[in-house]
Amino acid sequence: MSERAEKMKNALEQKLESVTLVAEATHLRHNLSAIIRTAESFGLSDIYMISDRSKKVSGAAKGAEKWVNLNIENNTKQCMDKLKSKGYSIYVADLHPDAYTPDTIPVDRPIAILMGTELSGVSEEAKAMADGFVIIPMFGLTQSLNVSVASACLLQRITTRRREIVGRGDLSQAEQHRRLTEWLERDEREKQRRKARQNLAREAKT
């Protein structure tokens, strides 16, 4: 197996299917891109974007998006119903008096963290449907963080705690094999496209 294939295999072995991130109506392109990169860097298998702007969302992170399943849902209820049907507990990031912290939030079952919009935070609909709330303890005068930074603060601790229960990762062997095959085939197609472009460029110069 090539060195690149080994890196892919190692990443898949550490993927977490039981932790996911939900971005509700995040419209700023750089925030979408950063959220996707953040989720992938902590080994999430899937992330969810609630938005009716599917084209904008799907093109937000052309790099990290290749290594994580990006699910685009049209509305909050549809997304939360889907996650609950899969067995996830859903916690929204919100300044709620009864909010958990990343150290106290229950991680004994699959967990989804829902992040709100840049301006108004999490919707009332999401709060009403959620299983609970989570907050990042802060000690300065600033009491808000960029959504991608907040996502990183939450995921770092939550994924660490979840891995203490499930091990390195929790993707099935069959799913790891399927994705590895898919990634390697995609790599080969991209390699062939690059080679074709290079050949065309050389021919144009002659």
Cβ–Cβ under 8 Å, residues 22 and 47: yes
Q: Which residue is associated with the tokens 């790891």?
A: 176
Q: Is 54 helix (H, G, I), strand (E, B) or coil?
A: helix
Cβ–Cβ under 8 Å, residues 173 and 181: no
Predicted local confidence at residue 42, as pLDDT: 97
Q: Is 21 helix (H, G, I), strand (E, B) or coil?
A: strand
pLDDT tens digits along 76-115: 999 999 999 999 999 999 989 999 999 999 999 999 999 9
61 vs 38, higher pLDDT: 38
Helix (H) or strand (E) holding 90: strand 89-93
- Domain coordinates of the chain in residue numbers? 15-166, 172-206
CA distance 70 to 100: 27
CA distance 56 to 54: 5
Predicted local confidence at residue 56, as pLDDT: 54
pLDDT tens digits along 8-36: 999 999 999 999 999 997 766 778 889 99
> Which residue in 5, 3, 2 sits closest to 181, CA to CA?
5
Cβ–Cβ under 8 Å, residues 159 and 43: yes
Instruction: Enter the tokens of residue 194.
Output: 């690059």
15-166: in CATH 3.40.1280.10: yes
- Bridge partners of 73? 50
Burial class for 117, CB neighbours closer than 10 Å (0-12, 13-18, 19+)? middle
